[in-house]
Structure 1
Amino acid sequence: MKKLFTLLLLISTSLAFGQSKISGKVADAKGEAIAFANISLVGTYDGGTSDENGNFEFITEEVGPQVISVTMMGYEPFKKEITLETKVPLIIDVKLKESINSLNAVVVSAGMFEASDEKKMVMLKPMDIVTTAGAGADIVAVMQFLPGANRVGEQEGLFVRGGSANETKTVIDGMIVQNPFFSSTPDIPQRGRFNPFMFKGTAFSTGGYSAQYGQALSSVLLLNTVDKVSSNSNLNLSANLAGLGASYTHKGWITGSINYSNIKPFIGLVKNNFNFDKVPQGIGSSLTINQNVSKNGVLKAYATYSDNSSAIKLPTFDAENSSYVFSNQNKNFFCNASYKHIFGEGDMVWLSGISVSDNRDLLKLNGVDANRSDKRTQLRSVVNKLFGGQKQNTLTLGAEYHNIALSNMYGANTLSLTDHYASLFAESEFYVSSKIAGRFGLRSEHTSVLNKFNLAPRFSVAVKSGEFAQFSLAAGRFYQNPEKEYLYINKNLGFEMADHLILNYQVIKDQRTFRIETFYKKYSDLVVEQTPSFDPNPYRFPTGLTNNSGKGYAQGFDVFFRDQKSLKNGDIWLTYSFLDSERKFKNYPVMTTPYFVTKHNLSLVYKQFITPISTNIGFTFTHTSGRPIYAMGETFQTASYTKAFQNFSFMGSHVRQIKKQFVVFYFIMDNILGRKNVFGYRYSPDGSQRFEVKPPMYRTVFFGVSWTLGKLNGRSKEADLNF
């Protein structure tokens, strides 16, 4: 055994001494870094991926003549012959030429705000999200500062261009997330479940989105998880007014985390509008795997489990100052696994995935059980093929299947439904020239709960009008199942439908972006409920007969400007949206503006990094015009509105680096001026009384610390300091 051990030791030592390190940087023709490029030695399994600064590094045992290959979507493949010598490091700087379908050509973009590095239409990166004041490092909250989104303060979700929150779907690596937010509580908005640093970027569609996605009448929020860009290991510890957390990353490929939340210190610091019977608290854990299983194959997996509980007293009209207790214990499990394989020189990519979601709410309404359960299993497979003389065109073919089971219980009564939903889709993005591009897609869906098919065409075209400017036009048809409360009582309903038409103009030059977009959206086949009188309670369960006779429209325009150039280390966003929308849907007896629609939405975001003291500060101001107020038994003859919503917020963070340790201190103040915003009213059954729907706090103060031991994954020293 001693001889065997000695032999193995000698072999491993010789292998270690026989290794060579290859490193370098990948950039474009202008010298700008290219992140997530694939680098490999042809005919071997050795290689790596460039980080967000374009840097790469990997170890190989190969010697002698070799060929190094660098590929990246949107760029021409790069190959170079090299000679490797044992223990002699090799540095290679690569410049990739952009192909016709990169940003130097026209890009089909109507209705889409991207933050992915794939096409370099960088709007929001994870760092943008966590440094935006007024958003609390929540992905969806930041999206509400972008054009097309309404800010509805008493309910979680994205309300886009006249659409309800139910009309927007969250998608991670192509898979729909069944429960992207923590479990809903009446009139208290919930945060999203996901950490922004899980994702390399976001793409927020305000309409006219790709045929690859469906079951969303208004919008999709596309989130793509980060690729493996480092082999570092680190430990992160965090503490703030809402809880404690810890995570460990091992050699860049596996990360585990655990956290405990309890908002008692938070609500004890500032006067608030809560009336808790039990302060929200819970535990959560997650596991992330991101591994290159071969030179052309990448496996990603993410799983999370959380158990949260709370109880709050909500007002009633039974007697003066009376209330009832709404308590909930939420158990949520979600996992998402995907495998990507690149064929040849990157001209064909196969992506397949599976996700499983199981969400359970153990509710009690004043002591009566009212449990909710929803489960979803999804399978998805997509093939992307490049074709054409310069491989500038793309053909996408795909299929997906969902098994969905939903149930609601109140006392002894239980309602449930099961749906087997399947879809096929095909889409091609083609370039007539470097100045004209188009995209045509077709999506077909079948849902067993309705026992119906649909066929949804989508089309986009873009024309480059200058070196940095372009026009885009998008149109398409979008279908969605009715909300589950209506399907529980009537499974003879049909799909709800919306047709989109969008015209866009944008200029991206010198780290400045200007974008203006006008749109028209026509709703048809919306579910209408026949009731003797109007009840404005958004949480009511339907009681009348239902059909698909509803209709509506939404029209308006958005303006967006971002400047990262004028102020050194500064960043300014300015957003304005105008919206005109009316519907006849749900229990609304006539065409009218829905309660969640606001006509004018303005956001101003300013950020500044102060280099000498490694500190980042930011301010956000938002103004939203009043929302319509509808009372019990509303006749809709005259309209009244809430007062305008206004919010001025601040955030600051300071970084200290001690050798390989990074400590980040952060402080947040929301609604600095303490404006007493009102989101609407809740009415007594006879309409004679009402109470205001208020924010949980008129002014919020929050602070914490994050301590990382080891180098932050995928970041250079300069990026670490900026963080």
Structure 2
Amino acid sequence: MKPFLRLPFCLIPVLVGISLSASAQTVVSGRVTDQRGRALPGANVFLRGTYDGATTDTTGAFRFATTRQDTATLLVTYVGYESFVRPIKLQPESTPITIKLTELANELNTVVITAGAFEASDEKKMTMLKPMDIVTTAGAAADITAAMNLLPGAQRVGEQEGVFVRGGSNLETKVVIDGMIVQNPFFSSLPDVQSRGRFQPFMFKGTSFSTGGYSAQYGQALSSVLLLNTVDRNINNGLGISLNLANTGLSYDHSTVNSSISATGYYGNLKPLFALVRQNIDWTREPEFAGSSLTYRLKPSKTGMLKFYGMYSDSWLGMNFRDPGSATTGNETGLINLRQHNRNFFTTSTYTDSWAEGRWLLNTGFSYSYDTDATTYDTQDFGRSSERAQVRAVITRLLGGNSSILFGAEAHTLTLKNAVDGIAYQLRDNYGAAFVESQFYVSRNLAFQPGIRAEYSSVIGQFNLAPRLSLAYKTGVFSQVSLAYGQFYQTPDYRYLYRNTALNFERADHLILNYQIIRNKRTFRAEAFYKNYAALVREFTGAPYDVNPYRFPWGRTDNSGHGYAQGFDLFWRDQKTVKGLDYWVTYSYVDTKRLFQQYAVLATPTFVSNHNVSLITKRFFEKISTNISLTYTFTSGRPYYNPNRPADSEREFLSDRTPAVNNVSFSASHILRTKGNLIVLYASVDNLLNSRNIFTYRYAADQNGNPNRVRYAVGPQTYRSFFVGGLIMLSKKAKVDVNQL
């Protein structure tokens, strides 16, 4: 009981002090308003270094007493406004103070530069797609890039991997993880098969998908960048087991206050799945694969964050495919056997920190990747490999009013090897870039973001300077318009550089106008764009056009190609009208023509369709813990090469069109707990209506000697497919955020 007996005696000096000083108090009073004179109730007013202060009332008035004498520093803070700091004189009869606060530029009440970009993260208010969106969207198959293809501006090409954006090829889009370019973001390319991306959605806390006009921080992409930012820590602890028709996996997560580690291992064999789902491909060895990954995160200080990610995968497969460039004499099917063994290793490490109360930010990274394909076509060796090492550093200075300026540089060393018909090719490129970019808020309604990027490539010995500029103006409380312009350069396809290193950078100029309104969980975007292509690589063979997309360029090349792309996109998402229902609709139109590659005349490329439509619906039924998703996509016909038409006529070349592609996909997932463990069961059906979709047509030589070639269709790997599986988290802490379903 002694501590309680002693407590009143401890308080006596304080009470005495208050009593003795009452006659020496000074009263500080006044009123706090905004710049228009409107009262700001609830503002905090106090003297620095003391507990003396008050909160403004409904009229913005405040009044409090202090024992401080002579001078003091008055501070006033209010959410959404810049802090007020002023030295004042303390006198027995002081005059009331009138304080006007300036509204602070922030993401809650200011314009956000968005032209050409779809953001999805916890840090942005203009959320479009979260990781949970990706895994619960029918037709995306839990693949990040497949989900991006359901956004406006993206082009769905069923027989090739990659992201095709606004008339651009898959080589014109780069995938970036924590600022580092990923050399091989997709599993190995196969003839007429769309490969998946290598990375899982829940690795990332957010995505930013640019359809053009992107930041000066990034380069080497004529059309688009897909920015992926990894999570800072895992939310689950314990062991996880996954099992489905394609693979089985084991994962382990452990976290402490300042660190976390995640490890995974998996093995897959598609033979059981292919036995149930009929294939349109003649597999001589069904794909078999194994791999592992490790993620480690550490907070060495209050503001610092170190992240490391590494992965390794091994895969084997064999297939017979039809090569449109080969004669079929003596072989009625014209099939050629392909065998492939792929090994891929990727690691990236980043460190971020801040100092001076967050006014200075540091972001550094290192990445290394190695990928090799031991590939044979019949008896010919077409093996290839790539190796990339890169470093990057960015320093950002935050200025007043949410404005900022950043400086950065990066360096890459890239080595590529390719064997073709017994000839070994090798290339090494040392690529460097430096960039400066700033973002200024002239007012909370007007912002602009100028930037410039300088690049150098040793393999071609060329330098470029690329200016970028974005503007945004807030037209209402919930709406804004944005304008973006920029020049973008890219080193030519390395297949051309194996034989000609005298080529220059390819270039595209972007102009984008955007209108956006976000209100009450509803989003509407309309965006118009124009792209001008210059210095594209052309190949002159003196031979008929070769439609085989896997051919190795052997003709003379130069940078005389050019072209354009223009069109508009529409996006509507509604998460409010019907309780529990989330749906979005997209429409994209593109008109584009190019003179590049083997083209003899200006023409629309074979990977472009003029019209793309997506309708995605999702609903989570809380009572039964089940999420249902339905997706419909429409893609208009694409050009294809008909060798029976003249290839040097702009009216005839690539004038034929494939039928439109329609697809309906369905997916469902169910969440339950048993004995404290979390279980997620899922099922999906792709091409629910079993449509006989055709992606393109090719022509093969007629073995009977007819001058006209015989047309055959290239379609999906399978017409209608289904997939089922489950995940078990052996941890009572494991959870799924149903608010994101």
| TM tier, smaller | 0.7 to 0.9
1:666 offset after TM fit, Å? 0.4
In structure 2, what is the equivalent of residue 240 of structure 1? 244
1:614-638 per-position Cα deviation (integer Å, ceiling 9, x unaligned)? 0000000000100011123634433
Contact 1:101–1:431 at 8 Å: present in 2 too?
Answer: no
In the alignment, residue 174 of structure 2 is paired with which amino acid? Answer: K
- State, as a whole percentage, how many aligned pairs show the same letter: 51
Q: What secondary structure does 2:497 align onto?
A: helix
- Number of the residue aligned with 1:438: 448
**d(CA) in 2 for partners of 1:722 and 1:486?**
45
Amino acid at match of 2:279: N
What's the CA shift string for 1:462-503, capped at 9, x where partnerless? 000000000000000000000011101100000000000000
Give runs of aligned pairs for residues 205-216 of structure 1, distance below 5 A: 205-216=210-221
Query: What is aligned with 1:146?
Result: 151
* 591, 597, 600: which one aligns with 1:589: 600
- Match of residue 111 from structure 1: 116
Distance verdict in 2 for CA 1:75–1:655, change over 3 Å: farther
Could you say which residue in structure 2 is the equivalent of 1:179? 184
Which residues in structure 2 correspond to 1:350-389 (within 5 Å)?
Answer: 350-388=362-400
Cα distance in 2 for residues equivalent to 1:566 and 1:679 = 36
Amino acid at match of 2:726: V
Contact preservation (8 Å) 2:120, 2:128:
yes
Is 1:270 equivalent to 2:281 in the alignment? no
Q: Which residue of 1 aligns with 2:72?
A: none
Question: What residue number does 1:542 align with?
Answer: 553
1:672 to 688, 695, 702: 688
Deviation at 1:135? 1.0
Deviates more, 1:640-649 or 1:528-537: 528-537
Establish whether residue 347 from structure 1 lines up as the match of residue 359 from structure 2.
yes
Is residue 463 of structure 2 the alignment partner of residue 449 of structure 1? no
Aligned residue number for residue 615 of structure 1:
626
Q: Structure 2 residue aligned with 1:165, among 161, 164, 170? A: 170
AA at the equivalent of 2:561: G
Amino acid at match of 1:143: M
CA shift for structure 1 position 76: 8.1
Alignment of 1:55-74 (within 5 A): none
**Matched AA of 2:670:** H
Question: What is the identity, as a one-letter code, of the residue corresponding to 2:372?
Answer: R
Alignment map for 1:479-490 (pairs within 5 Å): 479-490=489-500
Instruction: After TM superposition, give the deviation of residue 658 of structure 1 in Å.
Output: 2.4
AA aligned to 1:410 is V
Checking the alignment, whether the CA contact within 8 Å between 1:98 and 1:104 is kept in structure 2 is no
SS in 2 for 1:130: helix
SS at match of 1:489: coil
Distance 2:579 2:426 in 1: 57
Report the CA distance shift for 1:712/1:110 in structure 2 as closer, same or farther (over 3 A): farther
* SS of match in other structure, 1:310: strand
Q: 2:211 matched to 1:200?
A: no
C-alpha spacing 1:76/1:403, structure 2 compared with 1 (3 Å):
farther
Runs of 5+ consecutive residues of structure 1 not aligned to the other structure? 1-73, 78-96
Which deviations, in whole Å up to 9, do the C-alpha atoms of 1:88-129 show, x marking residues without a partner? Answer: xxxxxxxxx994131310011100000022222210000000
1:495-522 Cα shifts (integer Å, max 9, x gaps): 0000000000000000000000000000
Q: Is 1:655–1:721's contact at 8 Å kept on the other side of the alignment?
A: no
Q: Is residue 692 of structure 1 aligned with residue 708 of structure 2?
A: no
**Aligned twin of 1:101:** 106
1:508 paired residue number: 518
How far apart are 1:411 and its partner, in Å?
4.3
Query: Where does structure 2 lack aligned partners over 5 or more consecutive residues?
Result: 1-79, 84-101, 702-706
**CA displacement at 1:200 relative to structure 2:** 0.4
Q: Give the secondary structure class of the aligned counterpart of 1:355.
A: strand
Matched, 1:226 2:247: no
Amino acid across the alignment from 2:591: D
Distance 1:273 1:75, change over 3 A: farther
Write the distance in 1 (CA, Å) between the matches of 2:662 and 2:429.
Answer: 42
> What TM-score do you get using the length of structure 2 for normalisation?
0.82
d(CA) in 2 for partners of 1:539, 1:99: 55
- CA offset digits 1:584-632 (Å, max 9, x no partner): 0000011100000000000000000001100000000000100011123
8 Å contact kept, 1:101–1:393: no
Deviation readout 1:523-549 (Å, 9 max, x if unpaired): 000001112222222111112111000
1:407 maps to which residue? Answer: 417
Change (3 A) 1:213 1:246: same
Work out the CA distance in 1 between the residues paired with 2:180 and 2:304: 19
Per the alignment, do residues 256 and 76 of structure 1 end up closer, same or farther by CA in structure 2, a change over 3 Å counting?
Answer: farther
Q: Distance in 2 between matches of 1:272 and 1:659?
A: 40
2:196 paired with 1:191: yes
Preserved contact between residue 343 and residue 371 of structure 2 (Cα < 8 Å): yes
1:162-189 CA-to-partner distances (Å, cap 9, x unmatched) read 0000000000000000000001111101
TM-score (norm. length: structure 1): 0.84
What is the distance in 1 between the residues matched to 2:450 and 2:473? 15
Distance in structure 1 (CA, Å) of the matches to 2:214 and 2:82: 27
Are the aligned partners of 1:151 and 1:624 in contact in 2 as well (CA < 8 Å)? yes
1:267 to 1:712, Cα distance in 2 relative to 1, 3 A:
farther
